[in-house]
Amino acid sequence: MDRRKFLKKSSLASSLFFVPSFVKAFEEVTSSYLGYKRLVIIQLSGGNDGLNTVIPFRNDLYYKERPTLAIPKKSIIKLNEDIGLHPSLTPLKRLYDEGYLSIINNVGYPNPVRSHFRSMDIWQTATDSDKYMQSGWLGRYLDHYGKHPHSAIEIDESLSLAMKGEVINAIATQNPKSFYNLSKDPYFKNIHNHQNDAHLSEHNLGYLYKSMIAAESSAKYIYETSKTISTSKEYPNNSFGKQLKTTAQFINSGINTKVFYGSLNGFDTHVNQLNAQKRLLKNYADCMGTFVQDLKDNGTFKDTLILTFSEFGRRVKQNASIGTDHGTANNVFIIGEHLKKQGLYNNMASLSDLDDNGDLKFEIDFRTIYATVLNKWLEVDDEKILNKSFKQLDFI
Amino acid sequence: MKTKHVQHLYWRIGFGILPTELEKLSKKNKKAVVNGLINASKTITPLKLDTSELDDLLSGSYEKTRENIKKVQTISRQKTKELNVAWVDRLAGTKELLREKMTLFWANHFVCEDNNYVYSQQFHNTLRTHALGNFKDFVMAISKEAAMTKYLNTKQNRKQKPNENFARELMELFTLGVGHYTEDDIKESARAFTGYSHNLQGGFVFRKRQHDESIKTFFGRSGNFNGDDIVNIILENKQCAKFICRKMYRYFVNDIIDENHVNEMADVFYADYNIENIMRYMMLSDWFYDEKNIGTKIKSPIEFLVGIKKIVPVNFKNPKQLLYIQKLLGQILLNPPNVAGWKGGRNWIDSNTIVMRLKLPSLILNNAYISKAKKGTSDIVAETKKQMFKKKFEKRFKTESNWSYFNDQFKNVDISNLENYMLACTMGETASVYLESLSKVSKQEHCVQLMSLPEYQMC
């Protein structure tokens, strides 16, 4: 053990002799290891081609509509006699075999919008497609159930709409250390040393002071909690790998955060889709495989649920540039240890019964998935957050 | 006019005011100051970049190939970034202050964006042209903008297959507000806007064959209405004047609405829907200068940034970093979150943005350094710290700040009096006591100290 590590450990040990910190430490242990459930959301931005991700390889229409874009039968990773995964998804197949993956097919919403921004908004705010909302579903979760801003963390430089509530916003940070560094100038501490909370609540200026104090304490808390843990796992060396590595570090450190949000970009494959999607899906699956293993090694996987979505799927018929255009329904991946319905949750969409644009007709409203996750996993009142009652599914 | 009131007016109608002009205007009465602002904005100076490359592409022989589309998009992305930077410079340096502030206001009312730069630049300047004009003309012009027909799908709105998107937002967000129309009103008015489209160069085109000529029943009236008829009928409803005045009040006066004041404004606005008149009315009212309205609003990120630039001109060596800062602060010009725009007020503030806001002035003006030398001492660590921070932060924020301009502008201001020029509200007690305990090493260091206070976020 080197000197620095020794000091760190011994100072931690000595703090246990003081009752208050001991109690605090104990609380954190209970909250983080005994059924403290966490949700990780992964957004595949740009509209992942779901039909080349989870593939109906027995369906002739699939090969007919995609003469140069379909994945050849022989290279598909078969899940059963009809359906298989894209060849880049080997790590996902492993999760599937272990019963840690549930694939929900044909997820969308009524009156689909094919604009990236708008459709992403709809997924993030969980509204009807003709309504606009300025808060996100996870932000509203924070409003009602979050204790601090750091109850939800996005591993990015700035916050997505999904993570903005009506009153509380989550925290965005790529690097807890630099966030902490920005906030810790002693100058800021000194200008509010003696402000008491009552005085701070009412006016806008008080609100700024309050936000500043909360931010300082969150930045410090996140940094100091997460720095105690380092991972030995080798993540792919790219920004998505780093995001998941940081997320695992947070989770394994026992941080008091319920929701994490990360994203992988580049799925808008209008042109020469094959190589681009191959690379993206490989990165997604490799990172996810490492991430799950990292959590498992630290005993936190059993209390983590990972949901992956994209703002829309793509058109069934390929376009003239060996790519695909914006479509509608898509698959959602749920990864976790306690899945009630493992593997394929439902059948794939019909490729013959399409809408006027030649797009899939959705079967499962994405908000029923949110409602289920909120209600059954985070154990909160989903209706309060989604402003509407949705059917519960039984994947968890 | 009281110095404090001039400052207030210039924060809300502009981005702050420098000492010399403040002295000058304080000697005038309110009417003269307000007239001065209005007269300076009688002219309209469009903000345009060189678009010849795009214009050539979009000329008569344009073929809609994937390659061409991509080319237009690539150039447009680049140009949009350039316009963002040019707009920030415009806001900091304009003589047409009221018009520019109004343009910024309307850009968050008639929210729109487009991936064809020619259309988005044209839309942007339509906002500027009508910013102080007649609201009815404004709405009609907006409904015919190429970018808008694309953004809210009026372009896809055809007789056989109406698209309600524009009709809905026209009422919900642009004129009446939610709850003041029925779903049937939306369906019927959508039919009136059928046939709206544009040509390649961005001009309005009315496709008669796609227009629904049959009778529509809208707000209890029936007729073969077109889009302009619908706008006329909507504006006859006083709710429209109220809705717009509410939004103005919230933006220029206070987050907390005083219904009496809004009703007063709505009476004035409803008479002729003249935007200049309603702004004049607001600026001349006594209540605009009420104590509860001064220094109580949270600056938008752009107000904050431009305000800094006005005091200490600062340039980003890499213009991308200016956009990056806007991203970190939560408001990228020309890139609204959605058609509802930015919510504003306290919604600007979260843990990330507050930390960024407090640190930003020192980051871009002073190598991230905020002086903490005790009273009676000189700041001996300043230079070494600055060198250290410079290395650390330069990759993210490479700027040139013109402190000699600041020193010149503030040469007649005593250092102990600087806060009265920089802060719109009274300093909190703890902050005040703490700053009193520090040495005022130089005007520059003191300026950075003041800008690093939460109080500096207020206007």
Give the pLDDT confidence of B336-390 residue by residue, as tens digits. 988 889 989 998 999 999 999 999 999 999 999 999 999 988 898 899 999 988 8
- Angle of CA points B263, B269, B270, to nearest 5°: 85
Rg (CA), chain A: 22
Residue A318 structural domain:
39-180+230-386
Confidence of residue B283 (pLDDT cuts 50, 70, 90): very high
DSSP category for residue B156: G
C-alpha torsion A227→A228→A231→A237, nearest 10 = 10
Please tell me which residue of chain B has the smallest CA distance to A160. B337
Q: Residue A13: inside a domain, yes or no?
A: no
Region label for A379, one of left (φ > 0), alpha (ψ between -120 and 50) or beta (otherwise):
left
Q: How far apart are CA A135 and CA A160, in angstroms?
A: 10
Q: How far apart are CA B25 and CA A23, in angstroms?
A: 62
Q: Residue A331: inside a domain, yes or no?
A: yes
Report the pLDDT value the prediction gives residue A22, as an integer from 0 to 100.
Answer: 38
Question: Taking CB atoms and an 8 Å limit, are A204 and B452 in contact across chains?
Answer: no
Tokens of B368: 């991230």
Is a pLDDT exceeding 80 seen at residue B301? yes
Mean pLDDT over each residue of chain A, to the nearest integer: 89
The pLDDT tens digits of the residues spanning A236-258 come to 999 999 999 999 999 999 999 99
Report the pLDDT value the prediction gives residue A306, as an integer from 0 to 100.
Answer: 98
Please tell me which residue of chain B has the smallest CA distance to A203. B296
Question: Taking CB atoms and an 8 Å limit, are A208 and B297 in contact across chains?
Answer: no
Is a pLDDT exceeding 80 seen at residue A202? no
Question: Taking CB atoms and an 8 Å limit, are B458 and A208 in contact across chains?
Answer: yes
Contact between residue A257 and residue A38 where contact means Cβ atoms under 8 Å apart: yes
Q: How far apart are CA A316 and CA A312, in angstroms?
A: 12
Q: How far apart are CA B156 and CA A115, in angstroms?
A: 14
| A195 → closest Cβ in B173, B370, B430 | B430
Report the pLDDT value the prediction gives residue A24, as an integer from 0 to 100.
Answer: 41
The pLDDT tens digits of the residues spanning B447-456 come to 999 999 999 9
- Angle of CA points A320, A324, A330, to nearest 5°: 160
Report the pLDDT value the prediction gives residue B20, as an integer from 0 to 100.
Answer: 96
Contact between residue A269 and residue A244 where contact means Cβ atoms under 8 Å apart: no
Number of compact structural domains in chain A: 1
Q: What is the mean pLDDT of residues A10-28?
A: 38
Q: Which helix (H) or strand (E) segment is B145 a member of?
A: none
Question: Taking CB atoms and an 8 Å limit, are A192 and B430 in contact across chains?
Answer: yes
Contact between residue B352 and residue A212 where contact means Cβ atoms under 8 Å apart: no
CB-based contacts of B385-392 (< 8 A; 24+ apart in sequence): B392/B368
Q: Residue A135: inside a domain, yes or no?
A: yes
The pLDDT tens digits of the residues spanning A285-323 come to 999 999 999 999 999 999 999 999 999 999 999 988 899
Please tell me which residue of chain B has the smallest CA distance to A217. B351
Q: How many CB atoms lie within 10 A of CB B399?
A: 18
Tokens of A373: 């996750």
Confidence of residue A19 (pLDDT cuts 50, 70, 90): very low
DSSP category for residue B316: E
CA distances A278 to A87, A250, A285, Å, are 8, 29, 11
Q: Which residues of A touch B455 (CB under 8 A)?
A: 205
Residues with Cβ < 8 Å from B222, sequence gap 6 or more? B215, B216
Q: Residue A25: inside a domain, yes or no?
A: no
The pLDDT tens digits of the residues spanning B405-420 come to 999 999 999 999 999 9
Q: Which residues of A touch B350 (CB under 8 A)?
A: 149, 159, 164, 169-171, 211
Is a pLDDT exceeding 80 seen at residue B226? yes
Q: Best residue in B183, B350, B366, B433 to probe A by mutation, most A CBs within 10 Å?
A: B350
**A103 has which bridge partners?**
A333, A344
Confidence of residue A12 (pLDDT cuts 50, 70, 90): very low
Q: How far apart are the first and last CA of chain B?
A: 18
Question: Nearest C-alpha of chain B: how many angstroms from A327?
Answer: 17
Q: Which residues of B touch A175 (CB under 8 A)?
A: none
Is a pLDDT exceeding 50 seen at residue A224? yes
Q: How far apart are CA B81 and CA A258, in angstroms?
A: 37
Q: Best residue in A115, A118, A128, A132 to probe B by mutation, most B CBs within 10 Å?
A: A132
Q: How far apart are CA B243 and CA B174, in angstroms?
A: 9
| A194 → closest Cβ in B168, B430, B435 | B430
Question: Taking CB atoms and an 8 Å limit, are B355 and A204 in contact across chains?
Answer: no
| A158 → closest Cβ in B345, B352, B458 | B352
Between chain A and chain B, how many beta carbons pairs sit less than 8 Å apart? 125
Q: Best residue in A199, A204, A318, A356 to probe B by mutation, most B CBs within 10 Å?
A: A204
Residues with Cβ < 8 Å from B120, sequence gap 6 or more? B76, B80, B83, B112, B113, B114, B147, B334
CB-count exposure of residue A202 (10 Å: 0-12, 13-18, 19+): exposed
Question: Taking CB atoms and an 8 Å limit, are B430 and A191 in contact across chains?
Answer: yes
Three-state secondary structure call for residue B158: strand
Q: Residue A58: inside a domain, yes or no?
A: yes
Report the pLDDT value the prediction gives residue B63, as an integer from 0 to 100.
Answer: 80
Confidence of residue A199 (pLDDT cuts 50, 70, 90): low
Q: Give the closest residue to B83 by CA, choosing from B41, B35, B122, B53.
A: B122
The pLDDT tens digits of the residues spanning B416-437 come to 999 999 999 999 888 999 999 9
Q: How far apart are CA B446 and CA B424, in angstroms?
A: 16
Task: Please give, one letter per residue, the 3-state secondary structure of A128-186.
Answer: CCCCCCCCCHHHHHHHHHCCCHHHEEECCCCCCHHHECCCCECEECCCHHHHHHHHCCH
Q: Residue A119: inside a domain, yes or no?
A: yes
Whole-number percent of chain B with pLDDT over 70: 100
Q: Residue A269: inside a domain, yes or no?
A: yes
Q: Which residues of B touch A186 (CB under 8 A)?
A: 372
Tokens of B243: 């809705």
Buried b or exposed e, range A230-269, using 16+ CB within 10 angstroms? ebebebbeebbbbbbbbbbbbbbbbbbbbbbbbbbeebbb
Please tell me which residue of chain A has the smallest CA distance to B295. A205
CB-count exposure of residue A186 (10 Å: 0-12, 13-18, 19+): exposed
Question: Taking CB atoms and an 8 Å limit, are B372 and A187 in contact across chains?
Answer: yes
Contact between residue B349 and residue A207 where contact means Cβ atoms under 8 Å apart: yes
Rg (CA), chain B: 24
The pLDDT tens digits of the residues spanning A38-91 come to 999 999 999 999 999 999 999 999 999 999 999 999 999 999 999 999 999 999
Contact between residue B14 and residue B97 where contact means Cβ atoms under 8 Å apart: yes
Whole-number percent of chain A with pLDDT over 70: 89
Contact between residue B364 and residue B317 where contact means Cβ atoms under 8 Å apart: no
Three-state secondary structure call for residue A41: strand
Question: Taking CB atoms and an 8 Å limit, are B355 and A183 in contact across chains?
Answer: yes
CB-count exposure of residue B5 (10 Å: 0-12, 13-18, 19+): middle
Q: Residue A344: inside a domain, yes or no?
A: yes
Q: Give the closest residue to A355 by CA, choosing from A313, A319, A311, A310.
A: A313
Tokens of B388: 């250290």
Residues with Cβ < 8 Å from B282, sequence gap 6 or more? B248, B249, B252, B253, B265, B288
Confidence of residue A200 (pLDDT cuts 50, 70, 90): low
**Domain CATH code at residue A271:** 3.40.720.10
Predicted-complex ipTM score:
0.94
**B401 has which bridge partners?**
B314
The pLDDT tens digits of the residues spanning B313-350 come to 999 999 999 999 999 999 999 999 888 899 899 989 99
Q: Best residue in B115, B155, B355, B446 to probe A by mutation, most A CBs within 10 Å?
A: B355
Q: Give the closest residue to B123 by CA, choosing from B100, B102, B144, B109.
A: B144
Higher pLDDT, A33 or A129: A129
